[in-house]
Chains A and B, each alone.
Chain A
Amino acid sequence: QHRRCELFLFPPFCNTLNGLFLTIYRLLHAKRTFHASQQCSAPLPPLPEKPGQVRYGLIPEEFFQFLYPKTGVTGPYMLGTGLLLYLLSKEIYVINHETVAGASILAVLIYVIKKYGATVAAFADKLNEEKIASALAVKNDAIKDLETAIEQEKKEQWRVEGRSYLFDAKRNNIAMLLEANYRERLLTVYNEVKKRLDYQVAMQHLKRQKEQDHMIQWVEKNVVQSITPQQQKESIAKCIIDLKALSKSAHATA
């Protein structure tokens, strides 16, 4: 059993009082078993926040509770006083220089702990808090990164689903190109045929025009040629007579 052999391991120079207190402690704190002593796959319970309660920094609370039913509240104090007086009177504990030294050290220690204990504890707690906070930050960042990665993957999958648009667009382009080419060909045929027919019509018109002009010219030339000098003199004389007659009639009216 662990408890018995621990006692024998103590160095023999150690105070037997210390040993007494430790055995009492072990007797009273049997409930928190040493977990590695048997195979246990259950997860550990979380570590307690506060240490065991002690009175006067030395004596565990369980001791007082243990004696309470038999001796009430003052029981342990009477036991303590009696023990102390016994030790002093029988000179089992001898008062010497060490006593004074010990007492002063104790006094200074108690003063310092009472004054600065809280701040030192807060400082140590803050260090611990910082470590835990940084670990927590790492964990939270990892969680966030994973979540964004999952979202990205889902988005990419959604994108991939839209690939049909691309191929529809390509096929549409091809169809449009073919259709446009076909229409262009039809249009070219029509234009060419129309051009040729219009050319024929235009040629005919032009020929007609030229023939007309030529004929008119020819007629005019012949007429001018056919006017002989005799006829010219006669026509001029007639014109003069006509003019005189006209002027006479004009005089008469005016």
Chain B
Amino acid sequence: MAGRRAALKAIDWAAFSERVPSEQRAMFNALKTRSDALSARLASLPEKPPAIDWAYYKTAVAKAGLVDDFQKKFSALKVPEPVDTQTAKVDAQEKEAAKTSAEYVQASKARIAQYEQELQKLRSMIPFEQMTYDDLHEAFPETKLDKEKYPYWPHKPIADL
């Protein structure tokens, strides 16, 4: 993260909330509360601390050179920025998620194609009034009686009648 202020992206919590499925609602709420707490803390801290009035202290403090010394050291002091260790992990997670979600979408599309196919088959079926038993066994293979496994009538286990 270069620079002190990485721009905070505005997050549309409402839209985010819409996309959360009900099983993950608790996790979403936890994330939101944490986010809100952090932003409240950030807002309560001033961006820059107020400037120290060196002129007043120079006149007020009797010890010679103390104030000058402090001033020199103070302006020379560089507060280290906190090092960002987690953004890389988040980016890695995002890549992982992109990959798994692409796979999921693939699988989902395959499932949809399968459903569409079956739907097409069901929709284009001839009405039952015009079917013969052969047509029925073609349309619904599970209705076919297995004459090899059960050679005697009724060609299915008695419990299934």
- A165-B15, A180-B41 are known contacts. Are A171 and B122 too (CB-CB below 8 A)? no
C-alpha spacing A173/B119, complex, angstroms:
46
Distance in Å: Cβ of A253 to nearest Cβ of chain B: 56
**Can you list 23 A-B pairs, Cβ within 8 angstroms, ordered by A?**
A44-B132, A132-B128, A143-B119, A150-B115, A156-B108, A159-B21, A165-B12, A166-B16, A167-B90, A167-B94, A174-B84, A175-B6, A177-B38, A178-B81, A179-B4, A180-B41, A183-B42, A190-B52, A191-B49, A193-B70, A197-B61, A200-B57, A204-B60
Which of A15-23, A100-108, A134-142, A237-245 is the interface stretch?
Answer: A134-142
Bitwise, A26-63 to B at CB < 8 A (1) or not (0) is: 00000000000000000110110000000000000000
C-alpha spacing A187/B35, complex, angstroms:
22
Distance in Å: Cβ of A247 to nearest Cβ of chain B: 55
- A165-B15, A173-B34 are known contacts. Are A197 and B4 too (CB-CB below 8 A)? no
Whether the Cβ atoms of B61 and A201 lie closer than 8 Å is yes
B interface residue numbers (CB < 8 A to A): 1, 4-6, 8-9, 11-12, 15-16, 18-21, 31, 34-35, 38-39, 41-42, 45-50, 52, 57, 60-63, 66-67, 70, 74, 77, 79-82, 84, 86-87, 90-91, 93-94, 97-98, 101, 104-105, 108-109, 111-112, 115-116, 118-119, 122-123, 125-126, 128-130, 132
Among A172-228, those with CB < 8 Å from B are 172-187, 189-191, 193-194, 196-197, 200-201, 204
- A174-B90, A182-B4, A204-B62 are known contacts. Are A169 and B31 too (CB-CB below 8 A)? yes
Kindly state whether residue A12 has any CB partner on chain B within 8 Å. no
Kindly state whether residue A229 has any CB partner on chain B within 8 Å. no
Most buried by B among A142, A162, A184: A162
Q: Please, which residues of chain B bring their CB within 8 A of the CB of A201?
A: 57, 60-61
C-alpha spacing A167/B21, complex, angstroms:
17
B16's partner among A142, A169, A175 (CB-CB below 8 A) is A169
Whether the Cβ atoms of A158 and B19 lie closer than 8 Å is yes
Whether the Cβ atoms of B130 and A46 lie closer than 8 Å is yes
Residue of B nearest to A161 (CB): B19
Among A113-158, those with CB < 8 Å from B are 132, 135-136, 139, 142-143, 146-147, 149-150, 153-154, 156-158
Q: Please, which residues of chain A bring their CB within 8 A of the CB of B19?
A: 158-159, 161-162, 165
Q: Number of residue pairs across A and B with beta carbons under 8 Å?
A: 158
Whether the Cβ atoms of A163 and B52 lie closer than 8 Å is no
Q: Please, which residues of chain A bring their CB within 8 A of the CB of B80?
A: 185
Q: Which 4 pairs across A and B sit closest by C-beta, in order of nearness?
A: A162-B19, A190-B49, A165-B16, A183-B45
| Interface size bracket, A side | 35 or more
Q: Please, which residues of chain B bring their CB within 8 A of the CB of A135?
A: 128
Distance in Å: Cβ of A19 to nearest Cβ of chain B: 30
A170-B90, A171-B87, A185-B82 are known; give 17 further A-B pairs, CB within 8 A.
A139-B122, A153-B112, A157-B109, A162-B18, A165-B11, A166-B16, A168-B11, A173-B34, A174-B86, A176-B41, A178-B82, A179-B5, A182-B82, A183-B47, A184-B45, A187-B46, A193-B70
Residue of B nearest to A190 (CB): B49
C-alpha spacing A178/B31, complex, angstroms:
17
Q: Please, which residues of chain A bring their CB within 8 A of the CB of B94?
A: 163-164, 167
